[in-house]
Every structure is written in C-alpha cells, then in structure tokens.
Amino acid sequence: MQDITQQADILALTQSYGIFGVVWYVIVAIALWRVFSKAGYPGILAIIPIVNVFILVKVAGYSAWMTLWYLVPIANIVFSIFVALRLGGRFGKGGAFSFFLLWLFSVIGYLILGFGGARYRRA
C-alpha cells in the first residue's frame, strides 16, 4: 500500500462485498426457511449457519451424520449433487431441475421449492 487513499479504496470495496454477502445470506435463509417449514422442520433453523446444512441433508432423506461428507474435498462435490437430486425428488421435481436449480443455482431452486406449489413427500 502506497498511501492512505489506496487503503481507503480497498476498505470501501470490502465493505460493499460485505453488504452483498449479508443480503445474499438473508435471501438464502428466507428460501431455506420455507423449504424446512414444508418438510416439517422448524424454519428458524435456516438462520443458523452450520445447522441449516444438517437440516437440509435430513430433508433430503439422509442421516445428519452424512453432512460430514462435506468436509472431504472431492466427496463434497459428489455428495452435494446426491443431496440436490434427492431433495428434488422429495419435492416431486425431476433430475434436471434438481441438478441445475438445486445444485448450480441453488438459491433460485430453494426459492422455487419454498414459495412454489411443490409438496414434500417423506419417502
């Protein structure tokens, strides 16, 4: 850093990204709140950062212990695809919806599941 102006520019840039991150997290929490409510879980769990992943895996039909697969480097990608496919199936959606909107564009997919007409089926 050469002078105080460059430091201020970097600080302003990181603050705007921080605001974007908070807005993004609120949108994800709202979408997951509706998905969890439809599945019979308390929606408030969508706000808690790590707990929401455990509940999402349970909504997909896996044991909450299976969430530990997200810690394994290559297996986490494969497991997240399995969770997306199973979650889509639980809400009566097909494989294409599950792959693209629940894995690649997950926030849009969760909003569609939560606020759309899809109904949750246990098994």
Query: Which residues does 87 contact at the CB level (< 8 Å), separation at least 6?
Result: 56, 59, 60, 98, 102, 113
Q: Is residue 76 in a domain?
A: yes
- pTM for this predicted structure: 0.85
Average pLDDT of the chain is: 90
Place of tokens 């926030």: 107
Q: Is residue 87 in a domain?
A: yes
Residues of the chain above pLDDT 90, percent: 79
Place of tokens 């993004």: 24
Neighbours of 57 (CB within 10 A): 24
Answer for the pair 56, 50: CB distance below 8 angstroms, yes or no. no
Q: Is residue 35 in a domain?
A: yes
Domain total for the chain? 1
pLDDT digit string (tens) for 8-65?
A: 677 777 777 778 889 999 999 999 999 999 999 999 999 999 999 999 999 999 999 9
Q: Is residue 53 in a domain?
A: yes
Q: What is d(CA 58, CA 53) in angstroms, rounded to the nearest whole number? A: 9
**What six digits make up the tokens of 74?**
């290559």
Domain range for 20: 4-115
Q: Is residue 121 in a domain?
A: no
pLDDT digit string (tens) for 65-96?
A: 999 999 999 999 999 999 999 999 999 999 99
Q: Is residue 120 in a domain?
A: no
Q: Is residue 25 in a domain?
A: yes
